Amino acid sequence: MIQETVSREVVVGIREGLHARPADQLAREARKWQSRIEFVGSGQRADGKSILELLTLAAEAGTRLVVEATGPDAREAVEAIGGLFARNFADPAGSTEHT
């Protein structure tokens, strides 16, 4: 089984930063994938499948993080998670999140 590692830089675009709601969305998305998913920022590493670990990053608006995925579906996982950041965690179906 191939254990590919893929990484991508993302920027927290929500003016409130990476608070509980987007951390929950990230963890739920990360748990959909088999790959190990981690976020790296300010010398810290957090398990992307853990809301509490994501919150420990204390990522404010404008913070740059690196999302790393290692596993059989790493590329797809990073793409999906990057999409959350690109949309500022808004629902892709068209509803908007209050920011």
Hey, which residues are catalytic here?
19
Measure the CA–CA gap between 92 and 5, rounded to whole angstroms. Answer: 27
The single-letter code of the amino acid at 23 is A
Helical pair 20-30 and 74-86, crossing angle rounded to 10 deg: 160
Question: Are 80 and 88 in contact, with CB atoms under 8 Å apart?
Answer: no
Q: At 37, give phi and psi (nearest 5°).
A: -125, 125
Pairwise CA distance, residues 19 & 6, whole Å: 25
